[in-house]
Amino acid sequence: MSELQMPKVDNSVLENKDRYVSDLRRIIVKKDNVLSDKDEIRPYETDALTAYRQMPVAVVLPENVKEVSEVLKYCNKNRIKVVPRGAGTGLSGGSLPLKDCVLMSMSKFNKILDVDYVNRCVKAQPCVTNLSITHAVQEKGFYYAPDPSSQMACSIGGNVAENSGGVHSLKYGATTNNILGIQVVLMDGTIVNFGGKTMDSEGYDFMGLMTGSEGLLGVITEVTVKILKKPEIVKTALVGFSSIDDAGNCVSQIISQGCIPAGMEIMDKALTKATDDHVKAGYPIDAEAMMIVEFDGTETEVDEYMDKIKDISSKNNSSSFKLSKSDEDRKKFWAGRKAAFPACGVLAPDYLCMDGSIPRSKLAEVLKEITRLSKKYDLPVANAFHAGDGNLHPLIMFDANDKESLRKTEEFGAEILKYCVKVGGALTGEHGVGIEKRELMCEAFNDTDIQQQIKIKLSLDPNSLLNPGKVYPILRKCAEEGRVHVHQGKTKFPDIPRF
């Protein structure tokens, strides 16, 4: 098999569903942990990318590593596709089921296994939520640094699968920079461990390979993460700007002058107002753009950095500067940012949250292009950015019940991502490729690049049974110029039912 194509539906799996379900119930100790009735499996038909849905043949909910291994071994032997799923909060369709697949929900793997303050790490099962790790160690003055906006709900295993970031990734890095070890079960049932409680540098970096692999290489069953001591002091500022260009230029100058904030975010006027209405965070709602910037460390260094930020902001025509006076203020500032996406519910019936990365110096340019595209497609857009590391999240407003609106939204989103690549960026910063961006992979990679990635996939899963149809283009090969086109003018994903 030289390339990975979108798998055709295996009708033999559908025809033998009852036998396969019966066999799976012999593998899974608790029979109620194998679901096959339509009403039982309907909650698993989609993830947070709700424009598409598909019900699997069955859902299995293993409770231990042995069950995961035996299910994968059985499915591999019988050539049954398997789609792993964590909390289902993904935004790129990575855990969307296939019609002839077994969906493996890891929701029973929800326990913290070990807290080790001496080695400053926590070992957790994959469906422990991101925020729960911090809750488990905060009484001793520790925390887990990566903090996606969905950290109350997203799972640590899903964070590894997507290499998730968050508002504090600028200083502390994404998931890959904050994990020490993982346990993974391969498609043939083999259980492997990479890393542990200490840095592991021997041999190939398999932990790095698995991180961000979107469930195509193995099923994560344990994660060991670093925990950090809480800093002495943390201060946050809200900075308003009269133009989005000034905000973008300010970000570039802050980084170029050697200031590395713990977090630095930008929201445009539309999102700032919607969020402040939702949370009452005290945002400068009249500003065209708002920056949230935070420093942590000793009181002396934090105060020095804040003075620098105020000066740099002033030189970039800031219209307001508000410094947190208490930890309560600071938490309120961030609560607003982390509620930005749900706050958009008042702006339109639905929104599509895009995810791309760009060089910081191109922020103002890309924002101008998004504004142009918004007018072209006649669709409103609100913008949030992990500005410090160039990860942008345009939120395109549309109505999912209107097929034309959905079509335009998909085209709008694709043009944003193409422009990100054009200016030297990437298709995703943390949400993953999934199905959402798979046909755009040829914007960033040529055919040889993609085939090499697929060869790695097939070396661990020769029959391409683990989460097939995700990440890699399936409509046709990349052309020499690195492009891919929808075949015969069909919609983006003609093989996947929509709402």
pLDDT value of residue 340: 87
Kindly state the average pLDDT of the residues 456-477: 88
pLDDT value of residue 229: 97
* Predicted TM-score (pTM) of this structure: 0.90
Are 11-105 and 112-229 the same fold in CATH? no
Of 266, 258, 268, which is closest to residue 293 (Cα–Cα)? 266
Count other C-beta atoms under 10 Å from residue 186's C-beta.
18
Q: Which CATH class is domain 11-105?
A: alpha beta
Count other C-beta atoms under 10 Å from residue 214's C-beta.
21
50: confidence class by pLDDT, cuts 50, 70, 90: low
Kindly state the average pLDDT of the residues 156-171: 93
112-229 belongs to CATH 3.30.465.10: yes
| pLDDT tens track for 136-159 | 999 999 999 999 988 999 999 999
Of the listed ranges 425-429, 484-488, 491-495, the least confidently predicted one is 484-488
Per-domain residue ranges for the chain? 11-105, 112-229, 233-343
| pLDDT tens track for 223-260 | 999 999 999 999 999 999 999 889 988 998 999 898 99
| pLDDT tens track for 329-383 | 999 999 888 888 888 888 889 999 999 999 988 888 998 899 999 999 999 999 9
The answer for residues whose C-beta is within 8 angstroms of residue 392's C-beta and 6 or more apart is: 354, 355, 356, 357, 358, 363, 366, 383, 384, 385, 386, 420, 429
% of the chain surpassing 90 pLDDT = 76
Count other C-beta atoms under 10 Å from residue 400's C-beta.
17
pLDDT value of residue 481: 41
Judge contact between 383 and 367, C-beta under 8 A.
Answer: yes
Beta bridge partners, 402, equal none
| pLDDT tens track for 285-298 | 999 999 999 999 99
**Tokens, residue 173:** 């890095």
**Tokens, residue 258:** 């050697």
For 9, the 3-state DSSP assignment is coil
**Tokens, residue 66:** 């042995």
233-343 belongs to CATH 3.30.70.3450: yes
pLDDT value of residue 479: 44
